[in-house]
Structure 1
Amino acid sequence: MRFGRSAVSGAAQSGRSARRGWSARLSAAAAILAIPTAAAVAIPTVAQAAPVFGPVHRTPAGGYEELMVPSSMGPVKVQVQWASNGGDRALYLLDGLRARDDRNAWSFETNAMQQFANDNITVVMPVGGQSSWYADWTSASNTNGQKYTYKWETFLTKELPDFLAGYGVSRTKNAVAGLSMSGPAALRLAAYNRGMFKHASSFSGPLNWNAPGMREAIRVMMLDAGRFNVDSLAAPWSPAWLRMDPAVFAPQLKGLPMYISAASGLPGQHDNPNSAAAVFNTSTAMGIEALSMVTTRLFQQRLNSLGITSAVYDFPANGTHTWKYWEDELWKARPHILAALG
């Protein structure tokens, strides 16, 4: 993985770090998040992008790398599949509530990299951020001894694009997609950074944060996924909290191409439970997806009330809160993403 200063002459340094990834067991009442598992393999290389005024180092077009990117949170691992023909566009794929420290689940739970392998677009998959909502927190979580304060929005909109600019990736020609926890985050990042993101996708995201009981549901989810404290994210009903509610920042999405989806929660082609544990997990995923669908429908109504018509919606009749359905939705979103990025 690349770390340190990029040696244009070919010198390399070594370094490692990991952030965190995910899996899922939430109660339906706790609502709306994700369920990954297993692993993937990659061969790390080393070096860091040098001054951001021009590309100084790039792997062969279409290659895969793991970068260690400096940030205010410490080095953050980022998995990257470079554009097939060296293009400067990028798609940021954000992980879910139980994001792991070693891999972004898009890289091993789905065929996301294969979907874009022949496209002239770089796939960027940040690693870590369990229970973070990809936000800038007001303080470190005090319920699990967190040693630093999450500053994910700063990382994704400033530190990471500045770093990638040294590899020839544009700061202004990007798309962002998220599922579950990162669905509202993807929309938020695009809403507040219109100069950076040209398209945003939300798959099965909780898109109404101020519905009755939603904050406490989020509290339960975050305690379950790493014992994180929602009050460290933002104080109840504070400006910082309201800023993260898609229904509140919806006006800032006007004119932004979007792809927004959630399924009914009824089992479909990817649900084949063959054990008692699998039946339990499927039933949980059914309830969570149904709640995701309700909040997504409410968000659709909110956009309609604002006269925002730039979103494409998909509400499949079958599908639970699991990765293979998000893989399907990414494939459906793909032509819209590519069109928005030109």
Structure 2
Amino acid sequence: MPLAAVIESPPATAAFDPAMFDFWVDSPVMGPIKTRVLRARDGNTQRVAYVLDGMRAQQDLSGWEINTNIAEVLADWNINVVMPVGGESSFYADWAAPSSFFGLAPGAGSAAYGTGSGATEAMGGGPGKSYRYAWEDFLTNHLRWELRNRLGFNPYRNGVFGLSMGGSAALALAAYHPDFFSYAGSYSGYLNISAPGMREAIRAAMLDAGGYNVDSMAPPWGPQWLRMDPFVFAPTLIANNTRMWISAGSGAPMPDDLNIPLGAAADRLVRGAPLEALALANTRAFQVRMLTLGAQNIVWDFPATGLHAWTNWQADAYRMIPDMSANIG
């Protein structure tokens, strides 16, 4: 598997949903952070789902809002939707240091953030470079309680799910904050990040997605890195009795992946098939680990088709939402 294969597809053009609203909360480390919120249709405040983005998370809207209708579907299921915005390449973790290279101060380069090229952005400033990423702290110690204080949202037994980096992050948040999250979903997640070659694969992905340095996130093979690895903290998820939905596609295209212009379909297939194959291998390894430990608290979902693409993740969410609805609040 070539390391470049972990590069995710470019984001689509943003689309704004007027039913949602911006919810700003200050992070002591990262500054003001925007979250997009959509209220449950019935007005309840007890049922809440946190929806995590992928590696190329943008600073304006969540990829879920840009590329899918999942927020609206969740609201129709009477679930309040919380979509943190930003965190490109962050894994929603608390990083060891701001992202930098060669000992140079973050932001020392002249490249502007948002060029779309990791090579040109690596030495520039921007999110996670001009400051240290502290996403776990923000989500669990700041956003959680501001949602309770200002909107009345229940801070206990919430759901959390995400794609790719957001999938492994969802499992980590549930493992270490079991009172906060009773449900976690991973779609096409990298759930065995300490496997041979995976750190370098993640290094390549983070370089491409905004020019981030994996060594700034966590030193190699130390406690901070192992704490992020679902394969390692699997027993904690079992002990917590966290309800989980774990999914990965086969790498074969769905019909909607082909019902687009030929060039776009070819690009999606070339990029999305190897990425999903890597995610599938990671997810299957995690499955073996959990089954070996006797896990009974997981729904395994391995559809016959699905690329590393929003078509797959939207379909994943459609299948998962009824199960999550029954296990939160």
TM range (shorter): 0.7 to 0.9
Distance, in Å, in 1 between the alignment partners of 2:317 and 2:158 is: 16
Once the two structures are TM-superposed, the CA of residue 269 in structure 1 deviates from its matched residue by: 1.3
Which structure 2 residues correspond to residues 190-201 of structure 1 after superposition, within 5 A?
Answer: 190-201=174-185
1:1-24 C-alpha deviation (Å, 9 max, x unpaired): xxxxxxxxxxxxxxxxxxxxxxxx
Q: Does 1:65 align with 2:51?
A: no
Cα deviations by residue, 1:90-122 (Å, 9 ceiling, x for unpaired): 100000000000000111201112212223221
Q: Distance between the aligned counterparts of 2:180 and 2:9, measured in 1? A: 27
Q: Distance in 2 between matches of 1:190 and 1:215?
A: 22
**Is residue 50 of structure 2 the alignment partner of residue 100 of structure 1?**
no
1:271 is the counterpart of 2:271: no
- Which of residues 140, 145, 152 is equivalent to 1:168? 152
What is aligned with 1:83? 40
* Per-residue deviation, 1:42: 4.7
Aligned to 1:147: 130
Counterpart in the other structure of 1:282: 269
Q: Does 1:310 align with 2:297?
A: yes
1:156 offset after TM fit, Å? 1.0
Amino acid of the residue matched to residue 85 of structure 1? D
Q: Pick from 58, 69, 72 the counterpart of residue 111 of structure 1.
A: 69
Please list the CA deviations of residues 97-155 of structure 1 after superposition, one character each: whole Å capped at 9, or x if unmatched.
00000000111201112212223221000000000000000000013341100000001
Identical aligned pairs, as a percentage? 47
CA displacement, residues 176-195 of structure 1 (integer Å, 9 cap, x when unaligned):
00101111000000010000
Instruction: Report 1:1-342 matches (<5 A).
Output: 29-31=4-6, 33=8, 35-42=10-17, 64-72=20-28, 73-87=30-44, 88-143=46-101, 144=123, 145=125, 146-166=129-149, 167-254=151-238, 255-272=241-258, 274-276=261-263, 278-342=265-329
Q: Is the 8 A contact 2:170 2:184 kept in 1?
A: yes
Indicate conservation of the 8 Å contact 2:254/2:312, yes or no. no
Moved over 2 A (4+): 26-36, 117-120, 273-278
For the Cα contact (< 8 Å) 1:174–1:196, is it kept in 2?
A: yes
SS at match of 2:133: coil
Shift of the alpha carbon at 1:83?
A: 1.8
Task: Tell whether the 8 Å contact from 1:32 to 1:205 is kept in structure 2 after alignment.
Answer: no
Aligned residue in 2 for 1:17: none
5+ unaligned residues in a row in structure 2: which ranges?
102-122
Distance across 2 between alignment mates of 1:292 and 1:283 = 15
Which of the two has greater helix per residue?
Answer: 2
DSSP-derived class of the 2:321 partner = helix
Query: Is the Cα contact below 8 Å between 1:32 and 1:206 reproduced in 2?
Result: no
TM-score (norm 1): 0.83
Asked if the contact 1:96–1:178 (Cα under 8 Å) also holds between the matched residues in 2, the reply is yes
Q: CA deviation at 1:78?
A: 0.5
Q: Structure 1: where are the runs of 5+ without partners?
A: 1-25, 44-62
Aligned partners of 2:17, 2:313: CA distance in 1, in Å?
Answer: 23
Residue identity in the other structure for 1:160: L
Q: 1:32 to 1:212 in 2, by over 3 A?
A: farther
- Structure 2 letter corresponding to 1:89: R
The alignment yields a C-alpha RMSD, in angstroms, of 1.7
Report the TM-score when normalising by structure 2: 0.87
Change (3 A) 1:322 1:38: same
* Superposition deviation, residue 38 in structure 1: 1.4
C-alpha displacement of 1:34? 5.5
